[in-house]
Homo-oligomer: A and B are copies of this chain.
């Protein structure tokens, strides 16, 4: 190795050796000190490079056990979630928005349980449609703890999605993707046939206690894409 220094160069060289089977799957590779000597850089630089590869699942590292090329690599993919309007703009389309419903209502058991809400407590239930170039893009069906977003906060022009991202950021949560058949109401809003297979994203957000639960149901044809 003689190319320009830098931990990224070290990573690329290591990646080359992995793909090239110079370092076969299951085998230990030279330790950091040896690589540093061979490549003419500090051990910390090698460490940074190998740690990065390990984070990507292309290497396994263990104290005292050394670094190995895994027999079965676990590739990791990442995708970003933020403001729906930005996603639409990123597709080169004109975003639109329409509030469909904004009421206080008793949530279904599943939701109420997640909120740890009492049997009679009402939650704010908001439904809104996001549009791309005027066509339905995504149906937002959200339950909100009223103490987070009081009645004086209107979602007429600003979607709950965007308000929350801007005002209740940095919270914890979980999410899951699933496929759902379009029910009559959803089919109407998304202008598709009832029973259509739709991609949905369920998401919960909580700080000290539950803040919001939302299902985003996307119009037919929508894909979540990523690179390996």
User: Using a CB–CB distance below 8 Å, which chain A residues touch chain B?
Assistant: 15, 18-19, 25, 57-58, 71-83, 86, 165-166, 169-181, 195-200, 202, 205, 207, 220-228
Cα distance A71–B199 in the bound complex, in angstroms: 28
A179 with B165: CB separation less than 8 A = no
A165 with B73: CB separation less than 8 A = yes
Residue of B nearest to A227 (CB): B174
A173 with B223: CB separation less than 8 A = no
Chain copies in complex: 2
A77: contacting residue among B25, B75, B175, B225, CB under 8 A: B175
A169: contacting residue among B73, B175, B176, B220, CB under 8 A: B73
Q: A44 CB to closest chain B CB, in angstroms? A: 9
- For this complex, 30 residue pairs linking A to B, each with C-beta atoms less than 8 Å apart, are A15-B170, A19-B207, A71-B166, A72-B82, A72-B166, A73-B82, A73-B165, A74-B80, A74-B82, A75-B80, A76-B78, A76-B79, A76-B80, A76-B81, A77-B79, A78-B78, A81-B228, A172-B228, A174-B228, A176-B223, A176-B224, A176-B225, A176-B226, A177-B223, A178-B223, A179-B220, A181-B196, A196-B197, A197-B197, A205-B228
Q: A222 CB to closest chain B CB, in angstroms? A: 7
Question: Can you add 7 more A-B contacts, CB < 8 Å, to A25-B169, A73-B165?
Answer: A19-B171, A25-B166, A74-B81, A77-B81, A172-B228, A174-B225, A179-B180
